[in-house]
Structure 1
């Protein structure tokens, strides 16, 4: 198929990822074990929050909380007993009609175990959000906030070391901008740091420690992780980025916490060296998956870097703390003067794959085409970019993207993804054979990554 081909969500050119009847694939494992466990954690954490509503004046919140807990339990029961995906109830966010029309048009009457992975999983997270959004007392409750924030709080020593490393690298690069080799090498390190930051996905790896994060950063700096990049278009991306002066880079965000920090540090570097005059971050408007970035998560991170005492950070030296505060102040200024901007279009938590952006996500697409380069972070963004199918792994990345690659106004699209699901494209056949020989689960182990490019309107300049 070519990059201009269009297909209906329920009639793709290759088989959708569906839970195997014999329980042999990652989709089945996710639906049968991993995701119900996540939902159980949501229920337990929320139940604890409700139990804490004991002070005067919170009786109504506690009573409503018990009802919401019951609704969450009902959702879990429907999932594990393979009921039909029910229409979503309107929560006032503005996208429920789109969701329900999509369900009725393409997947009417489908059950959890018969629905494609890319259908039932986003549906579950959107339905969780509706349960809270429709409430009177809990509409602003982020049911994943504790996980996101506690993991980051526990890794402040690693955070300080990473920030110190990038701050030094940035100053060194800025002081020698004529040295294109040094600039190139710094870009490679920053891009790979953003890639491997995607390993800190709380839905897959919930117990990351300071030591694990420091080891990950050491592997990035040493180049040890290069052998685990299954497809690497870094040099082609650099050919575009190196032509930019005061350009615009957009980043469609994935995980909060340590991964977001890596993305923010990349943006910091791009602005400091003059590649970008503007960076637009695209977070989620509602809590999404386990650790996806919301507006609140973004501002929380900047505030914590500016003032580590907000999380009671311990183990930091005086110089570490001063360096963090300096970076946090710079980032606050970049947000204040509009150099950095957040845009949380509803499309990112909608039902459609990204090939439908020009028709179903016009507001988001109109923003993206203003950018020179758009970086899509993480596994779900990748799956929505290529559509979650049993693609032949050698399918060109550009072809799998569909119309957003062939649109004459298309920006360069970069995918930075550590693979946590068994769909992938753009892998040379011999490379795929090597990886399958190393480990059968390489596509969903979270240990291998891709850096892939669709050049868009830059095609003739690389």
Structure 2
């Protein structure tokens, strides 16, 4: 589908079509034809079954069931309901920009995904202060489970991060730990390690072998030369991935690389595990109260709480981060929020897709600097593990090798990029 927005401000680049979900066999098609309904929404119903069976949630239960049916049948996308909702004007504008009769499959994939999660909030009457389900987070149980399961891995990670020096290798370890957050909680990071053996450096080195583009040789000297600088992190997921973001921010402030770190967080629940300010504060509070068996976590929680109190860490929420608009169509509020940033780290696959407008850029020939660096309001760093069939600025030989080694290399999160762009280049 052609891009229904003004193109990014680049003198020669014209955005290619946006990804849709119409092609069987693609991750996009599987997501919108099956996974988001049969896996994600079904799990939402199961995890909130007690609430949804109560009289206060009768309307919400019916609306979630209706939403699942709409997705099964790929019906026409309708406007979001909620005339007094604070983000309704943005969603009215977005839905009205779609061609008539646009369905869940024919809509731009990113639009359809974000739309489903916004419809979940509509089902729960999230913004209505007179509703019994006002501000109910249907994903909070999954996020809290992720937080609780992260502690053993976090204990090992934080014991290593706190020892890092203000130098090239220290910053690289902190950056790559934030990049591989989700995978380090599974196969890459040994959850039973107590930190006594320095396995973490070798893990990072092995993980670097799966990078399809690595701008750390340019990024790291730039940041060290600019220190102390102002860093922003556009956060993705709660759970262990958020812990790795906090660990990166901890290193940046403690080492003096950054004077402040600002966390750009979702303004409402979305994409199941995406982090809001409440999730970040809950993580800090939980770690600070851990017992002697998790000394590194407890010490980190106390440091993080102090950073927040002293203003060295800042939390900012915005509904814009919950919407599928490309980042070249950033809201005035979000743009203003980034005005003091020297470097902005963009975490996660969904945020990366928004950097690219979810457009089918050439993986090799369209550089990250041309596609993103040319319009972003400050130095921008994408820390992304691939979970969607979209990308730019990768090395052809590494990409081809990944395709030979792993048929699902574009979507399984085992391959990543560190890409650095600047408005000054």
Aligned to 1:443: 410
Picking from 119, 136, 153, the partner of 1:127 is 119
Aligned to 2:387: 420
Note the C-alpha offset of 1:222: 4.9
CA distance in 1, matches of 2:112, 2:190: 31
Note the C-alpha offset of 1:280: 0.4
Question: What do the CA deviations read for 1:232-291 (whole angstroms, capped 9, x no partner)?
Answer: 001111122111233100000000010111111111111111111111001111001011
Contact 2:325 2:357 in 1 (8 A): no
Compared CA separation, residues 210 and 146, structure 1 to 2 (3 A): farther
Compared CA separation, residues 97 and 222, structure 1 to 2 (3 A): closer
Question: What do the CA deviations read for 1:412-437 (whole angstroms, capped 9, x no partner)?
Answer: 10000100000011012232222222
CA distance in 2, matches of 1:371, 1:276: 11
- Counterpart check, 1:49 vs 2:63: no
Note the C-alpha offset of 1:304: 0.9
Q: TM-score, normalised by structure 1?
A: 0.83
Contact 1:99 1:351 in 2 (8 A): no
- Counterpart check, 1:234 vs 2:216: yes
CA distance in 1, matches of 2:42, 2:184: 21
Unaligned stretches of 5+ residues in structure 1? 52-61, 178-182, 310-317
Note the C-alpha offset of 1:200: 7.3
CA distance in 1, matches of 2:83, 2:193: 40
Contact 1:46 1:143 in 2 (8 A): yes
Number of matched pairs: 409
Compared CA separation, residues 355 and 64, structure 1 to 2 (3 A): same
Aligned to 2:60: 68
Picking from 367, 371, 379, the partner of 1:400 is 371
Moved more, 283-292 or 131-140: 131-140
Aligned to 1:326: 299
Picking from 397, 403, 407, the partner of 1:430 is 397
Compared CA separation, residues 99 and 145, structure 1 to 2 (3 A): same
Question: What do the CA deviations read for 1:383-410 (whole angstroms, capped 9, x no partner)?
Answer: 00011122211110122227624xxxx3
Q: TM-score, normalised by structure 2?
A: 0.90
Picking from 1, 4, 7, the partner of 2:9 is 4
Contact 1:200 1:255 in 2 (8 A): no
Aligned to 2:151: 156
CA distance in 2, matches of 1:30, 1:85: 16
More helix by share: 1
Picking from 339, 346, 351, the partner of 1:381 is 351
Aligned to 2:259: 277
Compared CA separation, residues 41 and 222, structure 1 to 2 (3 A): closer
